[in-house]
Amino acid sequence: MKMKDTLLVGLMLFALFFGAGNLIYPPFLGMEAGSSFWPAMIGFVITGVGLPIITIAAIALVKGGAEGLASRVHPLFSFVFITAVYLAIGPFFAIPRGATVAFEMSVKPFADGSTFLLFFSIIFFTLVYFVSLNPSKMVDRIGQWLTPALLLAIIALAVASFFNLEYVPGAPSAKYEASPFFTGFIEGYLTMDTIAALAFGIIVITAFKEKGITDQRILLKQSVKAGIIAGIGLAFVYISIGWMGVKMTGLGSYENGSSILSSAANLLFGPNGKMLLGLIVLLACFTTCVGLTIACSQYFTKHTSKISYKTSVTAIVLFSLFVSNLGLNQIITLSVPVLVMVYPLTIVLVTLVFLDRLFKGSQMVYRGTVLFTGLVSLYDGLSMYGLQITFIQRFIDQLPLAQLGLAWFLPAIVGGFVGFFLEKMKKSSVIKKEKSNNAA
């Protein structure tokens, strides 16, 4: 296969991952991490870039895409888990986040207030609704132009900030003070790119298959190459705008990453620069929201034959409209616990794909690992919503890495070994039974 074809697929994958919503986290990380920027950013890049690439590779190894991967645990688990993934990257968080980022970057700098958000979101989602009902190549073509435009705008902003903003690192905030690497690691969840990779993986595989690749090894190799190309682009963007956040610390106080970018554009290029960046982000967010609405509607229509595509689009748009009016900061706050529940399950499922040969694809290993991981990650997420049970919390707090947000790590390993030994016992029992029957 020609390198040009791999490069094109890699750039396509970069465009899929590179949503305007992802721009809001690195600058805020830079501002909060301060002098601890590099360890925090390395942790962020591992989950925000590394894990999505590994997930794409895992999907290349599994027949049936993300649903086939989750089915290795149980078909019911597959349905529930993949549904949760689509809800997270759809109406619960990613679509409303895209709308609010568009508002914060394009409208809020010129007209603040919740009333404006309401009017903006009604117009925004009305357009999303009508375009999503009639999917066409127009949105894809616009997106092909907007992604490079947005990338160029970010590069210009990053370069200008590098030469024109003074580096005066501030002290790290409380959450980055003790363990910046692991805090950045958890913050990387917010990009949602790892769980989005579960949906995007099949797109990459299909693109390579259309090029005539059928061999599993070559498919895996090309998918990894495409992932690395996309990853290099994402890492560059994250580090550049994260460093900008560090430099903007002494120039004011900001409530989120979008206000940092908007203020930086105004400072470096004036009102026209801020307006141009806002317009590009607005259009990029629009195409992203349309794409996610179509993808989610198609998924739900596929699995619920009684619901039409139009009904699904309507429900997703209305729910997204409601959530978007909670505001960007509130959406981020609500999304973190859910991602704390979902990400560990995604990580262990992907890890098991690469270890599959060691335990010969035992379903018991998958079930044990997912069960033990899920129990801890589910509790961690619910506790962030305020639902805490004293004796369970004491147990969780005593687990290794619990203070770093990785309490699920040891239970995942224990669950895998429990499943492995149960599989051994099951096989041993079957062999004994067969010998007994033969002897009789």
Position 143 pLDDT exceeds 70: no
Instruction: Work out the angle at residue 45's Cα, subtended by the Cα atoms of residues 174 and 73, and round it to the nearest 5 degrees.
Output: 105
CA–CA dist 418, 412 (Å, integer): 10
CA–CA dist 161, 146 (Å, integer): 22
CB 21 within 8 A of CB 241: no
396: its two tokens:
């969780």
Q: What is the pLDDT of residue 368?
A: 96
Residue 329: pLDDT band with limits 50, 70, 90: confident
Position 113 pLDDT exceeds 70: no
125: its two tokens:
């989602």
Residue 140: pLDDT band with limits 50, 70, 90: low
CA–CA dist 340, 376 (Å, integer): 10
Residue 250: pLDDT band with limits 50, 70, 90: confident
Q: What is the pLDDT of residue 205?
A: 86
Mean of pLDDT values over 136-151: 70
Q: What is the pLDDT of residue 139?
A: 58
Q: What is the pLDDT of residue 439?
A: 62
Closest CA to 405 of 330, 352, 339: 339
Q: Kindly tell me the number of DSSP H helices and DSSP E strands found in the chain.
A: 19, 0
Phi and psi at residue 212, in whole multiples of 5°?
100, 5
CA–CA dist 320, 122 (Å, integer): 10
Mean of pLDDT values over 224-238: 92
What are the Cα distances from residue 392, in Å, to 337, 376, 377, 379, 396? 17, 10, 12, 9, 6
Structural domains of the chain ordered from first start: 3-325 (1.20.1740.10), 355-440 (no CATH)
Q: What is the pLDDT of residue 438?
A: 66
Mean of pLDDT values over 198-208: 85
Q: If 0-12 CB within 10 Å is exposed, 13-18 middle and 19+ buried, where does residue 63 land?
A: exposed
CB 60 within 8 A of CB 217: no
Q: What is the pLDDT of residue 112?
A: 61
Q: What is the mean pLDDT of the chain?
A: 88
Helices within 304-408 (DSSP H only): 309-324, 328-355, 363-384, 390-398
Q: What is the pLDDT of residue 418?
A: 96
Position 288 pLDDT exceeds 90: no
Q: What is the pLDDT of residues 263-282, one digit of tens each?
A: 899 889 988 888 888 888 88
CB 368 within 8 A of CB 422: yes
CB 238 within 8 A of CB 85: no
Q: What is the pLDDT of residues 31-82, one digit of tens each?
A: 999 999 999 999 999 999 999 999 999 998 898 888 999 999 999 999 999 9
Position 317 pLDDT exceeds 60: yes
CB 261 within 8 A of CB 27: yes
- Name the DSSP class of 107: T
Position 137 pLDDT exceeds 70: no
Position 21 pLDDT exceeds 80: no
CA–CA dist 23, 217 (Å, integer): 34
Q: What is the pLDDT of residue 138?
A: 58
Q: What is the pLDDT of residue 305?
A: 75
Q: What is the pLDDT of residue 48?
A: 93
